[in-house]
A = this chain, B = another copy of it.
Amino acid sequence: MGEGVEWAVHCCLTLGWLGDDQPVSTARLAAGYELPPAYLNKQLQALVRAGILTSTAGARGGFRLGRPLDKITLLDVVTAIEGPDEAFQCTEIRQRGSGAESPARSFVAPCAVSTAMRKAELAYRRALAAQTLAEVKVAAERHVPRLEDSVRRWYGRG
Q: Which residues of A contact B (CB under 8 A)?
A: 1, 3, 5-7, 9-10, 13, 31-35, 74, 87-91, 93-94, 96-98, 101-102, 105, 109-113, 115-117, 119-124, 126-128, 131, 135-137, 139-140, 143-144, 150-151, 154-155
A91–B124 touching, CB < 8 Å = no
Please state the number of chain copies in the assembly: 2
- State the main secondary structure of chain A at its contact with B: helix
B110–A143 touching, CB < 8 Å = yes
The residue in A34, A111, A117 that gathers the most chain B C-beta atoms within 10 A of its C-beta is A117
Closest 4 CB pairs of A and B: A112-B140, A124-B124, A120-B127, A123-B127
A120–B10 touching, CB < 8 Å = no
B88–A33 touching, CB < 8 Å = no
Chain B residues with CB under 8 A of A97: 31-34
Nearest opposing residue in chain B for A113, CB measure: B9
A139 with B123, Cβ < 8 A, contacts A7-B93, A33-B97, A117-B74 known: no
